Structure 1
């Protein structure tokens, strides 16, 4: 997902997507430990997407709190 697409999502959609990616990351780490993971680069990509989501979520919450003041 591109950053532009991420910024267009609502905060609830961002939180839901983050939760899905965390679950997927968990399953991939289990596969890695058991030696069944075919694409190790997939873990890195998911970690980076989670970081992007968290960044945008934080920016949106800061913007709403600044607007409330």
Structure 2
């Protein structure tokens, strides 16, 4: 998702997005450990997306 799109969402939707990203990151980590993950850069991308969503949630709370 684009950062502009994330900023337009409310906190509850952002929390749902965060949960989905955390699950996806967990699955990617398990695939990486079992040598089934082809593109290891997906881990970094999901980690960055998680950080972006957490930052936007925090900004909306303040």
TM-score category (smaller protein): over 0.9
Which residue matches 2:9? 9
Structure whose alpha-carbon radius of gyration is higher:
1
Question: Which runs of 5 or more residues in structure 1 are unaligned?
Answer: 63-69
Once superposed, what is the RMSD of the aligned Cα atoms?
0.5
Q: Which has the higher helix share?
A: 1
Count of residue pairs the alignment pairs up? 62
Give TM-score scaled by structure 1 length: 0.87
Misfit runs of 4+, over 6 Å? none
Question: Which runs of 5 or more residues in structure 2 are unaligned?
Answer: none
